[in-house]
Amino acid sequence: MLTRMNGLMRWFSFAAIALWMTGCSTVVVQPPPGASSSVRPAPAQHEAGTYTVVKGDTLYSIAFRNGADFREVARLNNIAPPYTIWPGQVLKLSGRGPAPATEHAPPVVAKTSPPPSSAPVFEIVGTKPVAAAPLPAHASSAAVAPAGVTHPAPPVSATPAPPSNPAPAVAAAATAPVTASGGTRSAGGVKWRWPASGQVVSRFQASAAIPGIDIAGKAGDPVVAAADGTVVYSGNGLVGYGELIIIKHNDSFLSAYGHNRKRLVTEGQQVKAGQQIAEMGSSGSSRDELQFQIRKDGNPVDPLDYLPSR
């Protein structure tokens, strides 16, 4: 009898051990915190109408690419002047629609959160942040000056002097060549001048993918600022523009200079009308030329409505 009971006890013991082992085989061991894993989560998918900031972006270049007013982009994202942004930051956009692809490398997150209020403020410039330069005092917007208005004497120019017998005004004939001169014209609170000394070979079309005018020339010709302002973008991250410079003149007006061979100014730099900012080239183009744009409140406008007549 005792022998039989001992046998039953051993059988129950083996059964209990077997059940315990079976239960243990279903336990999933979690890796310790911070341990690496070969399985990476899928990247977050953002809804249409947003943009992820990459190294080299500024708020102005993002708004320019999207056909939006930089002030509206700042408002939508609660960004105050001087409009600091960080790589990896997802911005809401407005304007024509989602931003097209750029030539940037994949986004690199430089910061996971904004700096504390006591930290110095930076703008994203090139490959590293630099202190943002103060912007010039904003001039109030005014109506475009009517034809026949007497303009002030031209400033010292970085481009050749106008010919003694200048070309007829643009409005006289749509096919007449346009040659740059040293004259100026006040429009929209900005005193404009021609940014290059070549002929206009492509006129403005609001529906074009790159809505501006093309000014012919040869590689190395000087490209000058069309008005006083602050450089808010200097880079090559916008597809179709090559080496691009964007200058802010006041809260309403920006001007853009594309296809340069070499950029001579940096973001945050203040420039004067007629100051050389680049060398003409063919970056992003099949020929040497300057692609010139004026944006009013984020919208492209015909530069010939603002530049002085010859």
The C-alpha atoms of residue 59 and residue 65 are separated, in whole angstroms, by: 10
pLDDT > 60? residue 172: no
pLDDT > 80? residue 263: yes
The C-alpha atoms of residue 177 and residue 201 are separated, in whole angstroms, by: 8
Number of neighbours of residue 94 by Cβ within 10 angstroms: 16
Pairing type for strands 270-271 and 253-263 reads unpaired
Nearest to 108 by CA among 166, 64, 54: 54
The C-alpha atoms of residue 173 and residue 3 are separated, in whole angstroms, by: 121
pLDDT > 50? residue 105: no
Backbone CA torsion sign across 166, 174, 172, 306: negative
More confident residue, 173 or 298: 298
In the predicted model, what is the mean pLDDT of residues 164-185? 47
Task: Give yes or no for a cis peptide into 154 (omega within 30° of 0).
Answer: no
- E strand or H helix at 66: helix 59-66
H-state helical runs in 67-189: 70-76
pLDDT > 70? residue 75: yes
In the predicted model, what is the mean pLDDT of residues 161-179? 38
Helix, strand, coil share (%) of the chain residues, nearest 5: 15, 25, 60
pLDDT of residue 49: 87
Confidence of residue 9 (pLDDT cuts 50, 70, 90): low
The C-alpha atoms of residue 122 and residue 129 are separated, in whole angstroms, by: 6
pLDDT of residue 310: 73
pLDDT of residue 7: 59
Nearest to 247 by CA among 219, 276, 220: 276
- The average confidence (pLDDT) of the chain is 72
Note the maximum CA span of the chain.
132
The C-alpha atoms of residue 268 and residue 214 are separated, in whole angstroms, by: 26
In the predicted model, what is the mean pLDDT of residues 132-150? 41
pLDDT of residue 12: 55
pLDDT > 70? residue 74: yes
Confidence of residue 207 (pLDDT cuts 50, 70, 90): confident
Q: What structural domains and CATH numbers belong to the chain? A: 50-131 (3.10.350.10), 170-305 (2.70.70.10)
In the predicted model, what is the mean pLDDT of residues 262-284? 97
The percent of residues above 90 in pLDDT, for the chain, comes to 53
The C-alpha atoms of residue 189 and residue 181 are separated, in whole angstroms, by: 20
The percent of residues above 70 in pLDDT, for the chain, comes to 56
Tell me, what amino acid is at 227? A
pLDDT > 70? residue 286: yes
In the predicted model, what is the mean pLDDT of residues 13-31? 42
Structure pTM?
Answer: 0.59
In the predicted model, what is the mean pLDDT of residues 124-149? 41
pLDDT > 70? residue 301: yes
